[in-house]
Amino acid sequence: MNMKRLFNIVLGLSFVTICAFAKNSTDTLRVLAIGNSFSIDAMEYLDTIAKSQNKCLIYGNIVKGGCSLERHANNIKESVKEYSYIKSVLGERTTTRMVNLNDFIDDEKWNCVSIQQVSHLQGMCNSYYPYIKEIISFLKNELNWNFQIYFHQTWAYPVYSEHKGFKYYHNDQREMLDSINVNVSRVTKQEKIKKIFFSGNAIQLLRETNGESVNRDGFHLNVLGRYAAACVWYETLFKESALKIKYKPSELSEEEALAAKKAAHTAVKKGFKVNFSK
């Protein structure tokens, strides 16, 4: 066995040992997302990336496909059992189906809680109220420890999208993106949410180099898009450049992975000030 392989094995075993002790430690980052299929897209590779970088991560993803802030707020009030709860503990995942959001909100002592508006309404300011205030109030009442609220900025649809909500933006990708940026900026400032996952801006930057090859349908992300979004989440959470990420999905070339990491890093670094060439 060569020395490099031996070193990697020892390093991997050390990480497993450290994280085994870290499950109940404050050194482990605990992240909860209250979302929909777009949070599934963004978090698909997050735990694998974190593990590859020797970061101890536990995440929960409470999801209902197509769920808006309004529906989340109403479901909280009525304790509706229609969610899936996806949990990753140091890279090991479980899924519990048909659950009530309220039952899992304090499953861990979360450091970060991400909320988001459904994709087709992200660019429409009046769709956020009063629901985002109700959800934030619920979180503050239920989680009686220090945590930070994050907002997940989602992406504009591909130019060929036939999603019925695309009509709100005249089926124009750039109009949708600009509307998302304007209104996410406005809402997060008003609600004093200082941390934002700029997945949408990263996807648009990636489109500038890789075209429309980031989606698997008219709105969800494919492997390349999911990887870019996960890189955004990783850099935002761990404050370590996405350019340092070692892992890439096997389906991606080195060039594709690098383009995704560059787009993610720029999006996180520039935030709402990112410049798009197209």
Residue 66 CB neighbour total at 10 angstroms: 12
DSSP 68-112: -HHHHHHHHHHT-EEEEEEEEETTEEEEEEEEEHHHHTTSS--SE
pTM, to two decimals: 0.92
What string of pLDDT tens digits covers the 278 residues of the chain? 544 444 344 444 444 544 554 555 558 999 999 999 999 999 999 999 999 999 999 999 999 999 999 999 999 999 999 999 999 999 999 999 999 999 999 999 999 999 999 999 999 999 999 999 999 999 999 999 999 999 999 999 999 999 999 999 999 999 999 999 999 999 999 999 999 999 999 999 999 999 999 999 999 999 999 999 999 999 999 999 999 999 999 999 999 999 999 999 999 999 999 999 86
Give the Å distances, CA to CA, from 15 to 3, 10, 20, 59: 18, 9, 8, 18
CATH architecture of 24-269: 3-Layer(aba) Sandwich (3.40)
Cis amide prior to 249 (ω within 30 degrees): no
Report DSSP state, residue 149: E
Helix (H) / strand (E) containing 153 = strand 148-153
Q: Where are the domains of the chain?
A: 24-269
